[in-house]
Every structure is written in C-alpha cells, then in structure tokens.
Structure 1
C-alpha cells in the first residue's frame, strides 16, 4: 500500500481528536454489548472499555483503550492512558473469554500507560507484564486492531494477537516521537525528524512483519468518513476470525508468531532498519 502521508502527518492523523475510538467501533460493529467494569481488586478505570458483545451473531469479548470525546471524558479516561486497574480489568475479561470459548477483539489507541506516581505505586509494570502473560496463554483467538496511537507497553498490553491489524494512518511504536527525540537528540522539537526514522507507520511495520495487515482509510483520515472505516474494519475482522478458526492451537500460534517476528526481514541480505 502506497504512502499517502509523511510519517509526521500520520502521527497527526492518528492523534486527531475526531478519530473514531473504541466506543465508536463497539457501537457501529457489535450488538448486545454488555460493559463490564472493575478489576475486583482496587477499582474501575474508564481508560479501558470492555465487555461481551455479538459480532455477526457470534459471541465475542471486546476490549479497547478509551480517550473520551470532550474535556470531561478525557479527564475521566485519563486521555486514554490506563492505570493498573484498567489492565487488570482487561485480564479479567480475557480470562473470562478463555473460560467460555469466546474470541477476543481488542482496539488499541493510547499514547501509553499512565506513568504517574499512583499508577506506579499500584503496580503499573506488573499489570502490563501480567497482561502479556495472560495473552500468551489464551486458548482462544485474539484479534488486535491499532486504530490510532499504539504507544509502548500500554499498547502492547492489549496487542499480543494471533492477528494484528492497523488502520492506514495509525502508528505503533516503542515510545512517542517526542520522547524518542528527547532521548536521542535531547531535543523534543525534532519529533518530525524522529517520525522518519522510527518505523512507526503501518506500511513500515507490515514490511517488518510486526503486523499482519493494513485497513484502508479515507485520504483525509478516519475522522473524515467514519462509516467507510467501520465497513473496512468489519470486513477485516470477519476475515481475521475466519482465519483464526482454522488455528488448532491459538496459544502456540502466538508464541511462534512473536518469537519469530522480524527475523525473516533481518535475514535478507542488504536489509537495514535505518
């Protein structure tokens, strides 16, 4: 798929305030959604939205990051930066899906897990690591879709899928371009330059073997025509689930997928990441 925007422009589109979020995808693509709240330990985190739903008459579990649509919602959802309670809620829903044999669909859109003092005191690193461990053991398929920002471990904590898809103008990286520029060059204003070298676009990541497919968007971005994007995501999810149904051991499939990720690309003569 040809690049229609520069990496820096894709970052801006991925962060656009009008871009569809998890709540929008749930409303458009699923029926009979029943939200489940709380981690049964500390509390409820609105930054993670999840529950049971029907997808084309098939029961599934849906989990995703939630940023909110206005300042009040942004504040309540911590701008899509989950706390440990949010990731433990996701773990609870994943284990429940595994128990009842429901496929899991996740929507990723976060600048990263919340790095605040309270989150760290409540075990943020452990919660993310535990999420990875839970996903690695699931005996049901997991389909992950990066819809906007896919930032660091906060994104990976929902993204260990048998199939990982990205919207055309979404991004997925180890940290933000601003953080990359601050660490590498001690100058966050060079973030546009960082975008060019980070390999964070869907096209870069498909070439590297990190993701399995790209879902098209309107030229102006997903916010310009949400209905078209919902149709494209719906078709991609149906295809991914059909493929997942043919996997006899989803856990073993994920193990192999993530252990060998990128190896074929790096073994090709003349290939260079930068």
Structure 2
C-alpha cells in the first residue's frame, strides 16, 4: 500500500493543476498558430488557379511569338537560298530587308513574351511554395497540439490508474486486517442451559386429611405405628419412582422433594396422635 501511495503522490505531482494549465496554454498557442497558417494557406491556394491561367496565357503568347520568329527566319532563309550567286534585284533586296526587320521585331516580341512567361511562372512557383510553407507550418502546429494532448491525456490516465491502484490496495489492506483481527480474537460461546431429566419426579404437595362428610369430625388414626408405616411407604414409593426414571444421579431438587414428602407425612401423623389423646 505504501508503494501505491508513493506512485499516487508522484502522479499527482506530474499532473498538478499548474502543469496541466501550462500544457493547455501551449495547446491554445499552437492552436492559434495552426488556425492562422491554415487560413493563410487557404487564401494563397485560392490564387493558384488564376496565376496558373496567367502562366498558360503567357505560354501561349510566347509560343505564338516564337512561331512567328521561326516563320520569318524560314522565309528569309528561303529567299537567300533562291537568290544564289546572282545579284539581287532592288525588289528582292527590299524584301530581304523587310524580312530581317520583321524577324528582329518578332524576336523582340518573343523575348518579351518569354520574359512575361518566366515572370508568371516565378510568381506561380513562389505562391505554391508559400502555400506549401503554410501547410507545413500547419502540420507542425498540429503535431505539437497532438503531442501536448497526448501528454496531458497520459498524465491524467496515469493519475487515474494510480488512484485506482491505491484504492484497491487500501481495500485489500482493510480486508486482510479484518481477517487477522477475526482470527486473533477468541470465540465467545454461550453457556449451555442445564435441564432436568424428562423423567424426574416433581415434589408432591401434602394435603391435610378431610373430615367425614356425615359427622364433620376428623377420623382418628389407628396408631402411631400405622402413621410411621404409611410415612415410610410413601417415601419408599417416591424413591422408587425416582429410581424408575432411569436417572443415574437424581437431581438435588428431586432429593429435596423426597425429604419434604417424608417430613410432611410424619408431621401429620404426630398431630393425629395428639388429637386422639
């Protein structure tokens, strides 16, 4: 967990609000440059068709001027060849002079058209280079923007992963601690309740003898020996019942019940003897 915490702290430092703000400022600056050069490149590219048309027109004029010069030169060469060694007539001389003057004029025209053609070509080529330069600057600005965005996203992604790893480490630590505490603490068991055996006899209540319904007087006992005999028999009977339950060790409550029953019977017999006297 400590290692995960160190990683999280390092990720927080790397992706601090100040550093993220600096990256965002760089992105905004390069975005401004990108928008500017893209707009400029688009404007310059719009001029290319018209400039290409100027080049094409200049090329046509040059071709026409060159063709005229070539035609006049061919006509002059033909006239001189036809003349041979003969002395040219005045008309022939005048025609040759005229051809030479036209050739000189055609050559000047051709040279002018050639200069115009080169000028239009240079302008077109310069415009194309400017368009290419603007597009290259736009590509460089876009590359910087993409790089900064990737850097910012990577820092945020590392921070998110570090936070997740730290949370998982804390959860694992808490689970391990809870398991260790549970294993170290002794189990608390509830005491078992002791229940008397199902067949144990409960102490019986001793009732006073009732009088005769005819006379309303108590019937005197026959003798003390009979009372003691009855007492002994009842005690033996109660003990026998306890023995028949199958309990190896009768409970203290059951033994007390037997003793109480014996004492109650003895007390009853004593009172009867006193009343008979």
Q: Which of the two has greater strand per residue? A: 1
* Same fold? TM cut 0.5: no
TM-score, scaled relative to structure 1:
0.17
Q: Whose Rg is larger?
A: 2
Q: Which of the two has greater helix per residue? A: 2
**Larger RCO (alpha carbons 8 Å, 6+ apart):** 2
TM-score, scaled relative to structure 2:
0.17
